[in-house]
Amino acid sequence: MSEFIDGILAESGLHDDPVLRDLLVDMEREATAVRPMPSAELMGLMTPRQVRPRRTALRRSGAGRAAIITGIAVVGALGLGAGAAAASSEARSLIGAGVAVIARLFEPAPAANAPAPTVGTTQSAGIGGSAQPSADATPSGDPTPSPSGDASGADHSPSGKGAGSQNAGGSSSSSNPGETHGNDTGNQSGHGNGAGKGNGGPAPTP
């Protein structure tokens, strides 16, 4: 510091005054002898190492917050995409086709000796045999004729229901008793119950 004081004196042309030089040296020494105690606030600012872990924690929490925000953004985008896809009819049909393909993959394979379902497989086994077609009857199924010649009452209508009932024989209410209606099948139930109630005989003549 004395060199610094010498410089000050030299700047003012007083470098040859040792008393003044000593006074200035003492002045500097006295004035800077007391080091003030920092306040608690300043002390906290001057110990940043205690703050560092907190900064790290803040950084971590910031990263976690960023991850959460990114996740929410992704989920939101997916939701918007799903909504747009649901609103599109083409997308719906594509999704339906895809679902059908997937469902077919998981469908169990049919047994090799299993009887193939046919229309009217429940043939009338006699009176009271139910000729009600199964639910999987196909309209193109060819009804098997009854060996007894009885009217099986097989319904040829796709719906399996008869178009109406035809009364034959004695039960006929026709004004011409000897006239047969249609065929000899007697009473044909249009409901396809194949009961074979008709006896196939000619209508009694009076």
Catalog residues that contact other proteins under the rule CB under 8 A.
1, 4-5, 8-9, 11-14, 17, 19-20, 22-24, 26-28, 30-39, 41-42, 45-49
Which of 152, 161, 156, 125 has its CA nearest to residue 139?
A: 156
| Distance, CA of 186 to CA of 197 (rounded, Å) | 7
Q: Which residues contact 52 (CB under 8 A, 6 or more apart)?
A: none
Q: Looking at this protein, which amino acid is placed at residue 137?
A: A
Q: How far is the CB of 26 from other proteins (least distance, A)?
A: 4
Residue closer to other proteins by CB (options 26, 142) is 26
Residue closer to other proteins by CB (options 33, 135) is 33
Q: How far is the CB of 87 from other proteins (least distance, A)?
A: 54
Q: How far is the CB of 22 from other proteins (least distance, A)?
A: 7
Q: How far is the CB of 56 from other proteins (least distance, A)?
A: 17
Q: What single DSSP character describes residue 50?
A: G
φ, ψ for residue 98, nearest 5 deg: -65, -40
Residue closer to other proteins by CB (options 20, 129) is 20
Q: How far is the CB of 61 from other proteins (least distance, A)?
A: 24
| Distance, CA of 188 to CA of 167 (rounded, Å) | 7
Which of 154, 186, 182, 153 has its CA nearest to residue 169?
A: 186
Residue closer to other proteins by CB (options 47, 93) is 47
| Distance, CA of 191 to CA of 181 (rounded, Å) | 18
Residue closer to other proteins by CB (options 22, 142) is 22
